[in-house]
């Protein structure tokens, strides 16, 4: 609890104690007024000052003005205890508000801790501590164990583990070695690293993330905008209604005291602070809760819209698949699979092609180059070599045909490498982009939420259809250029329901136009990707596809809490306001309609901070 909140609690406690004591003291006239003014001013002096400042600035109709008017009016008609109680409970509600907002801010402030204060710069005079903003691109910095990476760069010396939890929400450390990129904001855990910077501090990942979080509140959700407009018209309207209630009925029955009392009660009831506070607090909490999961939302409008997702369009490579080649099938023809992969791995031992690297990985051990000679690359076809004295060919069907070897017709969702030994066909190896382990379950979870799933890919039709079939996608469009993907997004936008949203999820590397065109762009695995952070509305900071459904669930939960608060606050207000107009509402009912509803709505809004 901060100093201001502690002071507020002390004031509330002292005022409450004095009010209890005064209940047992019998006094009349000016003495009684003076006694009750003491707890009133202790607990409410700041509200009176705010009301006066608001009037001086022309900003009259806010909750401070309403509370001041109602309580001063209560003093004017002799209802001293009620005036103190109203101000006392209003300050209790304000304290709950500060505590709730403080908790939301602390959840986001935890993310702000990723900003490093210094960088260890290598100079001619040794290592010097300097401001990260003064480190030029291409400089060498030293990152010791326990220190945060201050600027994006590439490791030139040292092997260590990085804690990226503050960026990705992932608790498992990530191994790092020379030649690999490090991103600012992560923590070096085990060994000293020398890193050559690749960006200026202002362009580094940590700066971009913090900028997103700090500016997320500027993009208001429709619910927030509605409440702002509502309060702008609502408050003057209820003040006018209160004046009419105080002045018109007494003209007919002469009961001025009764109707002024009812008008003051009506003013207390009418305070819209429960709505004005709880709705933005709910979205603020939702954004904070999402950030702790490694999900960055650029504004509450995007968090609100995500819950209305109707269709999710996926890029294939790097989103649904790993974006790396791997052997997915070994089919032998008269030879065992072990002999087949052995011959292929040795023939490909000198190739740097991704296909050759995937075959060597599948072999599982280092190739014995002493067994290999006369290696020859055949551009666009494959490779040939002499292995253990036998001529081995590993390549596509055209290579086999040119050598007069019958390899048959093989249909596969991937690249097929045929292998032959001394003209005899041994079989084939299928190499394809691996599907992420979680992709199928994520598609299934989206379907449970009644969300349509579509894949857009530039890959061949048979590859796209194979992946879509394995994952159970509703539709797939293959062999697409970036412009074609944009056209398909526009088609989905035309066919959606009026309130539905079309989301595109891509890896953020080359999908900027599509991310920008969809209702919502979600960048997958965007750690360190400038294109993703700039183009997407929501950024998932690691490569875990499960966070897509988690983000949707957070959005839907936040929207549900916002709706609950709006409906509850308006319903209670409406009932008690009607009772107030009819002269049936007491000041205690007014206190509940204002402060009670505020506290309940704030407590409900704080549930958005919790993430499963």
Residues involved in catalysis = 315
The CA distance from 92 to 130, in Å, is: 46
Q: Please state, as a whole number, how many other Cβ atoms lie within 10 Å of the Cβ of residue 339.
A: 14
Is 82 strand, coil or helix? helix
Task: Report residue 547 as tokens.
Answer: 């966070």
Question: What six digits make up the tokens of 9?
Answer: 């609690």
For residue 215, report the phi and psi dihedrals to the nearest 5 degrees.
Answer: -100, 5
DSSP bridge pairs for 91 = none
- Vertex 118 angle, CA 115 and 121, to 5°: 130
Helix 256-270 × helix 546-581 angle, to 10°: 180
Instruction: Give the length of the chain.
Output: 612
Q: What single DSSP character describes residue 323?
A: E
Contacts with 246 (C-beta within 8 Å, 6 or more apart), sequence order: 259, 260, 262, 263
Structure letter (DSSP) for residue 319: I
Strands 520-523 and 538-540: parallel
Check if the beta carbon of residue 222 is closer than 8 Å to that of residue 304. Answer: yes
**In this structure, are residues 33 and 75 in contact, taking their beta carbons and an 8 Å threshold?**
yes
CA distance 371 to 57: 89
**Residues in a beta bridge with 387:** 372, 390
Residue 440 tokens read as: 């199928």
What sign does the dihedral 584-587-588-590 (CA atoms) show?
positive
Residue 114, SS3 per DSSP: coil
Q: Alpha helix (H) ranges present in 29-79?
A: 29-57, 63-76
Q: How far apart are CA 382 and CA 343, in angstroms?
A: 14
Q: What CA–CA distance (Å, rounded) separates 203 from 364?
A: 40
CA-CA-CA-CA torsion for 107, 109, 112, 116, nearest 10 degrees? -120
Q: Quick one: tokens of 175?
A: 């191994």
Buried b (16+ CB within 10 A) or exposed e, 381-404: bbbbbbbeeeebbbbbbebbeebe
CA-to-CA distance for 116 and 97, rounded, in angstroms? 31
């Amino acid at each position: 609890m901060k100093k201001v909140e502690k002071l507020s609690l002390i004031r509330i406690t002292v005022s409450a104690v004095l009010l209890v004591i005064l209940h047992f003291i019998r006094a009349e006239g000016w003495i009684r007024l003076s006694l009750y003014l003491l707890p009133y001013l202790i607990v409410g002096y700041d509200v009176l000052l705010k009301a006066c400042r608001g009037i001086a600035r022309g900003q009259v109709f806010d909750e401070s003005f309403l509370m001041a008017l109602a309580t001063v009016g209560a003093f004017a008609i002799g209802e001293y205890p009620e005036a103190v109680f109203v101000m006392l409970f209003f300050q209790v509600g304000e304290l709950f508000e500060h505590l709730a907002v403080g908790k939301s801010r602390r959840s986001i402030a935890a993310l702000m801790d990723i900003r490093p204060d210094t960088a260890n710069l290598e100079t001619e005079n040794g290592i010097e501590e300097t401001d990260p903003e003064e480190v030029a691109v291409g400089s060498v910095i030293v990152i010791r164990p326990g220190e945060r990476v201050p600027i994006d760069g590439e490791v030139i010396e040292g092997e260590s583990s990085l804690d990226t939890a503050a960026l990705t929400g992932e608790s498992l450390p990530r191994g790092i070695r020379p030649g690999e990129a490090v991103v600012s904001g992560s923590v070096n855990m085990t060994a000293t690293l020398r890193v050559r910077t690749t960006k200026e501090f202002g362009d580094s990942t940590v700066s971009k993330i913090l900028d997103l979080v700090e500016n997320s509140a500027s993009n208001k959700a429709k619910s927030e905008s509605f409440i702002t407009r509502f309060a702008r018209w609502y408050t003057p309207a209820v003040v006018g209604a209160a004046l009419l209630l105080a002045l018109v009925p007494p003209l007919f029955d002469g009961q001025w005291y009764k109707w002024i009392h009812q008008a003051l009660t009506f003013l207390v009831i009418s305070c819209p602070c429960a709505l004005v506070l709880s709705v933005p607090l709910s979205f603020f909490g939702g954004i904070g809760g999402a950030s702790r999961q490694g999900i960055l939302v650029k504004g509450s409008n995007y968090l609100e819209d995500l819950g209305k997702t109707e269709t999710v369009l996926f890029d294939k490579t790097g989103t649904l698949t790993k974006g790396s080649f791997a052997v997915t099938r070994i089919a032998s023809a008269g030879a065992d699979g072990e002999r087949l992969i052995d011959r292929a791995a040795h023939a490909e031992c000198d190739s740097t092609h991704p296909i050759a690297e995937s075959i060597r990985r599948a072999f599982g051990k280092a190739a014995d180059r002493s067994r290999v000679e006369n290696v020859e690359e055949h551009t666009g076809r494959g490779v040939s070599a002499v292995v253990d004295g036998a001529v081995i060919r590993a390549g596509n069907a055209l290579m086999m045909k040119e050598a007069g070897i019958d390899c048959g017709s093989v249909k596969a969702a991937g690249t097929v490498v045929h292998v032959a030994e001394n003209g005899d066909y041994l079989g084939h190896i299928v190499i394809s982009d691996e599907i992420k382990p979680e992709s199928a379950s994520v598609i299934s979870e989206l379907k449970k939420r009644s969300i349509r799933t579509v894949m857009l890919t530039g890959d061949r039709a048979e590859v796209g259809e194979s992946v879509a079939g394995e994952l159970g996608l509703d539709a797939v469009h293959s062999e697409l250029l970036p412009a074609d993907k944009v056209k398909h997004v526009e088609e989905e936008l035309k066919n959606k329901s009026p309130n539905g949203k079309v989301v595109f999820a891509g890896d953020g590397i080359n999908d900027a136009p599509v991310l920008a065109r969809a209702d919502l762009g979600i960048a997958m695995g965007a750690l360190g990707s400038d294109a993703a952070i700039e183009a997407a509305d929501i950024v998932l900071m690691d490569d875990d596809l499960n966070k897509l459904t988690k983000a949707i669930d957070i959005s839907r939960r936040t929207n549900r809490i916002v709706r609950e608060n709006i409906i509850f606050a308006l319903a209670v207000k409406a009932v008690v306001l009607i009772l107030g107009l009819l002269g049936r509402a007491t000041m205690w009912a007014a206190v509940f309609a204002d402060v009670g509803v505020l506290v309940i709505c704030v407590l409900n809004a704080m549930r958005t901070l919790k993430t499963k």
